Amino acid sequence: MGSDNPYGIQALWTQSDYVGKGVFVILGVMSLWSWWVMINKWLDHRSLKKIAADAEKNFWNSASMQEGISKLKGKVNPFRDIAEDGLRAVEHHKKQVRDVTAQIELGDWIETHVQKRTDMLQSSLQSGMVVLASVGATAPFVGLFGTVWGIYHALISISIAGQASLDKVAGPIGEALIMTAIGLAVAVPAVLGFNALTRGNKSLIERVNYFSHDVQAALVAGSRVDAGAAGRK
């Protein structure tokens, strides 16, 4: 029965001009790009969550900061980088006793170095989010443009043929509306993915901030502040 239907996506593609085909291609690229971003960001989130769990479990059970750093494995580990930056800041502050560094409080000096690493991670987590936001905002309008263009050509064809019966009008116009449906099908997953990833980014940044604050407290005061651990529960 599907072969008897003269309307549908295949027929729309066959009968479309270069503009209509261009809209199809644009929506296809937008969909593939948004799904590629969502899958990669989801994999990054899963990896970072595992790294965060390992850091929160193993790092603070170590006898020293150096031993804790050695337990943080992985080629890319922002928690290890934060701890290492903190240690380097302390060592640099101690060595430069006659430098301008000595005029800066140790806590402020450590915070400056650790915050840079936290900001770098936050920037990394935000990468690709603009793509999802753009696709979610523009895909429905791209689909709507395709629909308007398709209806325009359908009406011109009907006018030239001189036939304005319901079956001659409803079919081409209904076929053109497929473009709007495709635009919505591209936009909805992008919007849902954007919202889910935004929540995930917020949760990960909170865990990183708690860890960095605990590292700063341990380096300055010599012990971890329990408030950070309580906040993660």
Per-residue pLDDT of 104-161, as tens digits, reads: 666 666 777 777 888 888 888 888 899 999 999 999 999 998 888 878 777 777 777 6
Residue found under tokens 């793509």: 131
Q: Are 213 and 225 in contact (CB under 8 A)?
A: yes
| C-alpha dist (Å) from residue 35 to 29, 40, 48, 192 | 10, 8, 20, 11
Angle at 12 between CA 8 and CA 18, to 5 degrees: 165
Using CA atoms, how far apart are residues 76 and 83, in angstroms rounded to an integer? 13
Domain residue limits at 184: 2-232
Q: For the chain, which ranges sit under pLDDT 70?
A: 1-16, 92-109, 161-172, 174-175, 221-233
Q: State the first-to-last Cα distance of the chain, in angstroms, to the nearest integer.
A: 58
Q: What is the pTM of this model?
A: 0.74
Token code pair at residue 155 = 């009406």
Closest C-alpha to 90, from 223, 220, 225: 220
Instruction: Count how many domains the chain has.
Output: 1
Residue found under tokens 């059970």: 61
